[in-house]
Structure 1
Amino acid sequence: MDSPNGQRRISLDFQDNGLVDSKMEKFETEYEEQGSVKRQYIAATVANLAAMVAGCCMGWTSPTLPYLESTKYIILTKGEEGWISSILALSAAIGPFPAGMTANRYGHKKALLGTAAIYILSWILLTAAKGAGLMYVARFLFGLSIGATFTVVPMYVGEIAEDKVRGALGSFTQLLCTLGFMYVYSIGPYVSYISLGVACTAVSVLFLVTMLFIPDSPYQLVKRGDREGARKALQWLRSKSSSGVNKELNELQVAVDEQASQKTSLRDLVATRGNVKALILSLGLVGWQQFSGINAVLFFSQAIFKMSGGTLDPSIATILIGVVMFLASGCTPLLVDRTGRRFLLLTSAVGMTLSQGVLGLFFFLRHIDVDTTNIGLLPVGSLIVYIIVYSIGFGPLPWAVMGELFSPKVKSTASSLTASFCWVLGFLITKFFQDIVDGLGTHSAFWMFSVCCGLAGMFVFFLLPETKGKSLQEIQLLLEK
């Protein structure tokens, strides 16, 4: 029955000839504390402020490069602009490896605090820059921090969250990242270069300060031998007393002991049929995610609207893209467990294929000097459709599916490898997007992305199994077939 303080008491009634022996009340179990998940939501939000800063970093080029071109505050060549945009993705491919080692050795909290410090330093350098050289350094450091963010934050959130809220909290990374995009899209076109840098530095400082008050992962604390620290962390996260977290603390100890007895190497990634399939599927999903053209679209969105010659102000159109991306990302947690992963990914692929194809057609018409005045809003509509279908499918789900496919023994190594592969592709595509536009035309670039989105749909349709409603053990058995 429920007690007045919201706790549930489980009674053991011992009867003898219909009478309850009151002396047996000493065998009643302790109150089973219900606790609360509110602080888990707080901790996940604070940790994912790192993703918001990452969104600011990735979206920064869209309002800034046109500003620099128009004001001549910093004079850059087209080649320098290309490197400023793409070097971030290159260093992000490096970031997952030192971040993973730091998190495993010192804990997720210290790894995230270090990431926050690098973010702040990077924004200071970028704001103070007067030429391409210092901008390269700042953007390279941004990339290291972003690679760390998308490696450490999902692991941290996964370890602090209870099963019943792990899916919802896991979606915060994409949601806060898009909030970062919307933040710079909304203020970037209307403030100076320095003011935008200060505004983004403020978000990084907020992340650093709030992270100081959030506990480390209880799993990591047990792993480092700090059992008492893990108990306090669980008490705070679960809103329970010391005795109320005993069971979970003991389960963590067992998990840590089992993990300590197993050594993982890169060879384990290809040691079983299931791991090989999981690796192929994970690399394929993040690969097609990058070939959908998302980084090129986000980095150059304001320039794309400017090239389109439409009636809508490019700055307003870019803000609209950020808002749509944020709202669409908020829908994913509500849909994924109802419709399944395959359905959303296939819908996403079809929608991106069509929207990129239409966008390519618009720029082709301009290329052959057809009057596009009456369809000036077409690129805005196409990109809005693209952002919506990307945000409900190929944006968040490759990472979610990756977390389901790999066995616990190889998940950490596989995650770092997959994240690195993703950013290498992101670097190459972002770096050469402008070259493709200059050499073959804007229409050719978007038609290329459209074809890739179609191939992504075929990859999902023929190769990806549905994991909806299946336990991790069932998924492993499915992959082993």
Structure 2
Amino acid sequence: MKKWKCDFLGTYLKRLWNDDLVNSNQKNDCSPILKQTLVALAPLLLTICSGMTSGYSAILLPQLKMNSTININDEEASWIASMAALPMAIGSVVGGFLVEKTGRRATHAISCMPTLIGWLLIYFASNIEMILAGRFVTGFCVGLLGSATGVYIGETSEPAFRGFLLAGISFSIAFGLFLSHLLGTFLHWRTTALISSLLPIASQLILLFVPESPSFLAKKQDQEKAEKSFYWCRGHTEQAKKELTIMLERQKQQVPTSQATSIRDRIDELLVPEFLKPLGIIVVFIVANQWAGINAITFYTVTIMKKTIGEGVNEYVAMLTVDTIRVLMSILACILLRRLGRRPLAIVSGIGTSLALISLSASIYLAKFYPNLTFGTYIPMTSLVAYIAFVSVGFVPLPWAMIGEVFPMKTRSIGSGISSFMAFTAFFTVVKTSPGMLAELGTSGTFLTYSVVATVATVFVCFYLPETKGKALHEIEDKFKDKALKTAKVKHDNH
């Protein structure tokens, strides 16, 4: 019986890969959306692991300080907390290179083994050096995924479901944070690390049965494999056939990367409006995303809760409360991106984030001078919850989702690498400067600073953020080209 089941599974997976090539008129055994979800599941499992990497220090450090065979001081604790963030920006640069040279799927496959090794280093750690090494390796892999995940999901999903699947990136990070804090609340830090190490194994197994990105294969001049991959993911609908034809025709018109050997040729590929405009939009949006302060809350939940609400805050309850709100709002973001679109969600999220931060800052400031006011802790608490909800439903998921949509096929890996590098650099600066800002500006001043960033970002997206809902990737690219051509035509007519 067991052998029969294994043979049946093997035969089904093989047929799942080949069914679209056997007969283009044959009905698929598995619907395209299920296949696209399967493709997305592998990188999203690794992204959950990324969330666990960011959240792990919050449960590791208290256990090491309270009762552990590894003794640490405050300086060593700060290094453990920040060690994962240090290599993220570097990892995003390496990830951008791997996405371009080895492929989108291949980059995720390459990330699985070092991620596993990093968590096992922590699990078997007998000294602080092994913990630091494990944190560094897992943080580096988070950077690798920042460049690859959005691009891979964006290129393998159809326009109708692309926003939903791309929003899964933010959900996976939020769920990873929640999972690491939940496990660490009840389990030993070594057990939590061991459970975390299972995710890259599961991801690697799924990657064995899903194809490489059709856009990457087309870029490498492998038309047969590109068609096979595209039809496996998308089926044989008229819309899919049209998109495939356009993608292959455009790729034939481009000079192969291997022939563009000079530095000048590479630079010229980047100095075009269809690359520079989306790069500017995403970089501003993603840096503002970080400086709206959500990761300051994530890393310093207890400190901020005590300053905002009072001293009687249970640190584990505070962490899990914040995590639960983020997870729920990330789920809502997946649904809203499927139904609404990018621009409306970004604007509503930005306005809500700004107002909640201003309310939070004002209520904390007034409480210093009027401690007997009747609103007590209700307004600060309500404002804090509203802030986490609004920033998590739009500002957090949208930039990462749109990385996989707005860049042209030829320079998509470079655009994702630069955007991820800027995001992780901003991430590190926010986490590093938050304690100093809380000390120098106070809690009200810190949140006021974040509110200014959120307000400026909201105005920016109102004017410049494109709507990509329901559009094929080549249509998004053409939109930036059309704008550039219209601008050039106006300038020419004026002269």
| TM-score of the two chains, using structure 1 as the length reference | 0.80
Give the Å deviation of 1:449.
1.6
Q: Give the alignment of 1:130-279 within 5 angstroms.
A: 132-221=128-217, 223-224=219-220, 230=226, 233-234=229-230, 236-238=232-234, 253-261=248-256, 263=260, 265-269=266-270, 271-273=271-273, 275-279=275-279
In 2, Cα distance between the equivalents of 1:364 and 1:73? 43
Q: Is the 8 A contact 1:362 1:378 kept in 2?
A: yes
In 2, Cα distance between the equivalents of 1:437 and 1:431? 11
Unaligned runs of 5+ in 1: 1-29
In 1, Cα distance between the equivalents of 2:127 and 2:442? 29
Q: Is the 8 A contact 1:266 1:413 kept in 2?
A: no
1:287-317 Cα deviation digits (max 9, x unpaired) = 1111111222112224433554365633223
Q: Is the 8 A contact 1:407 1:476 kept in 2?
A: no
In 1, Cα distance between the equivalents of 2:133 and 2:450? 30
2:9 alignment partner in structure 1 = none
Q: Does 1:477 align with 2:482?
A: yes
The AA in structure 2 aligned to 1:153 is T
In 1, Cα distance between the equivalents of 2:53 and 2:193? 10
1:385 alignment partner in structure 2 = 386
2:318 alignment partner in structure 1 = 317
In 2, Cα distance between the equivalents of 1:399 and 1:68? 34
In 2, Cα distance between the equivalents of 1:79 and 1:267? 47
Give the Å deviation of 1:78.
4.2
Q: Is the 8 A contact 1:310 1:373 kept in 2?
A: no
Q: Is the 8 A contact 1:310 1:376 kept in 2?
A: no
Q: Decide whether aligned partners of structure 1 residues 120 and 140 sit closer, same or farther in structure 2, where only a CA change above 3 A counts.
A: same
Between 1:92-101 and 1:422-431, the stretch displaced more is 92-101
The AA in structure 2 aligned to 1:445 is T
Give the Å deviation of 1:98.
1.9
1:242-293 Cα deviation digits (max 9, x unpaired) = xxx9998776654543444464624543x34554433332221111111111
Between 1:362-371 and 1:172-181, the stretch displaced more is 362-371
Q: Does 1:49 align with 2:45?
A: yes
Give the Å deviation of 1:112.
0.9
Between 1:200-209 and 1:63-72, the stretch displaced more is 63-72
Give the Å deviation of 1:380.
4.9
In 2, Cα distance between the equivalents of 1:374 and 1:216? 56
The AA in structure 1 aligned to 2:285 is L
1:85-115 Cα deviation digits (max 9, x unpaired) = 3343331111122223223333323221211
Q: Decide whether aligned partners of structure 1 residues 286 and 465 sit closer, same or farther in structure 2, where only a CA change above 3 A counts.
A: same
2:336 alignment partner in structure 1 = 335
The AA in structure 2 aligned to 1:175 is F
In 2, Cα distance between the equivalents of 1:360 and 1:83? 30
Unaligned runs of 5+ in 2: 1-22, 488-495
In 1, Cα distance between the equivalents of 2:89 and 2:216? 24
1:13 alignment partner in structure 2 = none
In 2, Cα distance between the equivalents of 1:382 and 1:438? 21
SS of structure 1 residue aligned to 2:409:
coil
1:284 alignment partner in structure 2 = 284
Between 1:127-136 and 1:36-45, the stretch displaced more is 127-136
Q: Decide whether aligned partners of structure 1 residues 458 and 68 sit closer, same or farther in structure 2, where only a CA change above 3 A counts.
A: farther
Q: Decide whether aligned partners of structure 1 residues 428 and 174 sit closer, same or farther in structure 2, where only a CA change above 3 A counts.
A: same
1:45-65 Cα deviation digits (max 9, x unpaired) = 122111111111112223333
Q: Give the alignment of 1:3-82 within 5 angstroms.
A: 32-33=25-26, 35=28, 36-37=31-32, 38-71=34-67, 74-82=70-78
Give the Å deviation of 1:131.
5.1
1:114 alignment partner in structure 2 = 110
Q: Is the 8 A contact 1:178 1:325 kept in 2?
A: yes
Q: Decide whether aligned partners of structure 1 residues 368 and 135 sit closer, same or farther in structure 2, where only a CA change above 3 A counts.
A: farther
In 2, Cα distance between the equivalents of 1:454 and 1:107? 38
Identity %: 27
Q: Is the 8 A contact 1:404 1:475 kept in 2?
A: no
Q: Is the 8 A contact 1:88 1:427 kept in 2?
A: no
1:327-376 Cα deviation digits (max 9, x unpaired) = 21222243346544333223222222233344445655787794799845
2:424 alignment partner in structure 1 = 423
More helix by share: 2
1:350 alignment partner in structure 2 = 351
Corresponding residue pairs, total: 448
SS of structure 2 residue aligned to 1:215:
coil
Q: Is the 8 A contact 2:165 2:334 kept in 1?
A: no
Give the Å deviation of 1:161.
2.1
In 2, Cα distance between the equivalents of 1:210 and 1:407? 28
In 1, Cα distance between the equivalents of 2:24 and 2:205? 36
1:409-438 Cα deviation digits (max 9, x unpaired) = 433222211110111111111112223334
Give the Å deviation of 1:191.
1.6
In 2, Cα distance between the equivalents of 1:449 and 1:214? 41
Q: Decide whether aligned partners of structure 1 residues 56 and 105 sit closer, same or farther in structure 2, where only a CA change above 3 A counts.
A: same
